[in-house]
Chain A
């Protein structure tokens, strides 16, 4: 039996769902989200901030396998990024990398919106409360 509908990379990240979940309360975390379950996709990122960079990122997502796989990969890519360059590429880049069907491109835009929401909620020059562990 062959013929996975997912690309090998999508399958790899979907099967692992690395960086899934959230951080304990009290840590300096910026969270951003987008989408709604009713429309099939909801994505949330949590960024643990150390100084001016992301120390670690985690994601939560409700959606199709491509949504979960891309969100999982992005969460792993966010460490070390600053507010000004938080997004690792564009939805077009992610679509190519994960061979996302064109009819699902809108879901990647939801992921992008969640990251942009993180940027919007990350105060540019204000130190966040708490300390990164």
Chain B
């Protein structure tokens, strides 16, 4: 199956978002019209509401199965950002009178970094860990950062820029032994790597649109034992057992459930195929001189390849590649460019960090896409280098 259509760019930005799988879209569409299941799932006084509630619970079971969790441990949110905010702010504020220290890493997604910074402003202490040059955190460093008043450790599963995979089991074991809560951002791992982390983590954030589900729906896994430590951060109708108020988006949740069911069946074969395509892309790009690999070739996400091209600025490279939809690690929106904070934290120079591209693959990426991308990038890099100082 391929999502490449005549005249459209090759889509290699699947870490940003993915195309909705047609099988997911078909399920969702069936919920939207008068013939569909449009009742409010909280309105259980009538058949429309009860049917919607039943569909929600079917989907919840599919989502939970992905984590080897119980359905009651899944809290639906608008996405991974909201889920991470709920886990971090919700635990910190609920336990501010007991523990006021948290631990995270400098290479986390902003959905973690920004709530942590917010908590610092509220008087909490945060320890910011720096991974090694390969981007990995040692569980011993996590253990060393713990204090008697540490409440929560938040470390992501797969880095969204580099595809580096953290040892969730080891970090979880450290937290468990110390009696510290462990939140894991699973957004980039689901659908690409095994994520049956129930029992290893206390909270897990993920979102459907990263694995060919719809945007606007995600979940926080809340281990049953961790539930007493968590308080809501928004208030309204008390849905999701009081943790996330707001009318449940039935069609989104149904699509989320279907996407999870597809992942359970197809993620293994998808990952093998993406790994081969990613390796082929790297082999092609490595023809160029002075390219630097920022992603692990072994043991990383099969879906992410981050490469720096010496002598070429990232935004120019993206602009020189209209035939490829791709992300640069650098934020080229200010007078002084701001290179990727993730790559800088890994010790890459500012120049290399702002010369990076992130290629991210998905279920619909084809061999033809990869071949086109490799040739286009090589041509563009060579052209831009021809005018480099």
Q: Which residues of A contact B (CB under 8 A)?
A: 1, 4-6, 14-15, 17, 20-21, 33, 37-44, 59-65, 67-68, 72, 101, 103-107
- 28 CB < 8 A contacts A-B: A1-B9, A5-B319, A6-B319, A14-B319, A17-B383, A17-B386, A17-B387, A21-B386, A33-B389, A37-B350, A38-B350, A39-B336, A40-B313, A40-B337, A41-B337, A59-B387, A60-B388, A61-B387, A61-B389, A62-B389, A64-B315, A64-B332, A101-B333, A103-B335, A104-B332, A104-B334, A104-B335, A105-B335
Give the nearest-CB partner of B389 in chain A.
Answer: A60
Is residue B85 within 8 Å, beta carbon to beta carbon, of the partner chain? Answer: no
* Assembled-state Cα–Cα distance A5/B320 (Å): 12
A4-B322, A37-B351, A106-B335 as given contacts; A64 in contact with B316, CB under 8 Å: yes
- Across the interface, B389 reaches (CB within 8 A) one of A5, A42, A101, namely A42
Which chain B residues lie closer than 8 Å to A64 at the CB level?
313, 315-316, 319, 332, 337
Chain A positions within 8 Å of B334 at CB level? 103-104, 106
Q: Which residues of A contact B72 (CB under 8 A)?
A: none
A94-B11 Cα distance, complex, nearest whole Å: 34
Which B residues between 321 and 380 are near A, CB-CB below 8 angstroms? Answer: 322, 330, 332-337, 339, 349-351, 354
The 7 closest A-B pairs by CB, nearest first: A106-B335, A40-B337, A20-B387, A65-B319, A60-B389, A38-B350, A37-B351
In the bound assembly, the distance between CA atoms of A73 and B44 in angstroms comes to 67
Q: Binding site of B, secondary structure by majority: helix, strand, loop or mixed?
A: loop
User: Residue B8 at the A interface, CB < 8 A?
Assistant: yes
Is the beta-carbon distance between A65 and B316 smaller than 8 angstroms? yes
With most chain A CB atoms within 10 A of its CB, the pick from B8, B339, B351, B388 is: B388
* B339 to A: closest C-beta gap in Å: 8
Q: Whose C-beta in chain B lies nearest to the C-beta of A38?
A: B350
Among B7, B8, B311, B319, max chain A CB count under 10 A is at B319
Knowing A14-B319, A37-B351, say if A61 contacts B332 (CB, 8 Å): no
| B388–A107 touching, CB < 8 Å | no
Q: How far is the CA of A91 from the CA of B9 in the complex (A)?
A: 34
A contact residues around B354 at 8 Å (CB): 40
Given A1-B8, A62-B313, A63-B313: A106 in contact with B336 (beta carbons within 8 A)? yes
Query: Within the complex, what minimum Cβ distance (angstroms) separates A28 from chain B?
Result: 21
Contacts of B335 in A (CB 8 A): 103-107
A86 vs B249: C-alpha distance when bound (angstroms): 63
- Give the chain B neighbours of A43 by CB distance below 8 A: 389
- Bound: A110/B389 CA distance, A: 14
Residues B388 and A61 in contact, CB atoms below 8 Å apart: yes
**Measured between alpha carbons, how far is A68 from B388 in the docked complex, in Å?**
10
For the complex, give the distance between the alpha carbons of A52 and B337 in Å. 37
Interchain CA distance A108-B389 in the complex, whole Å: 17
Tell me which residues across on chain B come within 8 A of A1, comparing CB atoms.
7-9
Once the chains are docked, how many angstroms separate the CA of A1 from the CA of B312?
Answer: 25
